[in-house]
Amino acid sequence: MELKLALRVDDLDNVATVFANGVTAGTDVEIRDKRGNLDPVIVHADVPYGHKIAVVDIPKGAHIMKYGESIGEADVDIKRGDYVHVHNMKALRGRGDLGR
């Protein structure tokens, strides 16, 4: 069986980036942090290479943290193992409508 890997870069991150092809709903993914710690999770949906999965439950309105920085806000409650993308988060950067 091929290892399916996701990387959590910073301790503040609540998402990890998937570095594997063929990650589909029900796939076991091994989340690794910068110290090499392993945290297995079963994903709930198909996740393309280079996209994000939640490493913890993220409540609606909470910041999505990647690389130690907020990249957006959860539009809905997101469960550990969920695919995190534009369908369940909104970007907070580079939006003229927010004055940022």
Walk me through the domains of the chain, giving residue ranges and CATH numbers: 5-98 (2.30.130.110)
The confidence score (pLDDT) of residue 90 equals 93
Rg (CA), the chain: 13
Q: What is the per-residue pLDDT for 73?
A: 97
Burial of 18 (0-12, 13-18, 19+ CB in 10 A): buried
Instruction: List 39's β-bridge partners, or say none.
Output: 31
Block means of pLDDT (10 residues each) for the chain, length 100 residues? 91 97 96 96 97 98 96 97 95 63
Name the amino acid, one letter, at 61.
G
Task: State residue 20's pLDDT score.
Answer: 96
Alpha-carbon gap, residue 31 to 16, rounded angstroms: 7
**Alpha carbons 85 and 82: distance in angstroms, whole number:** 9
Residue 38 near residue 32, CB atoms below 8 Å? yes
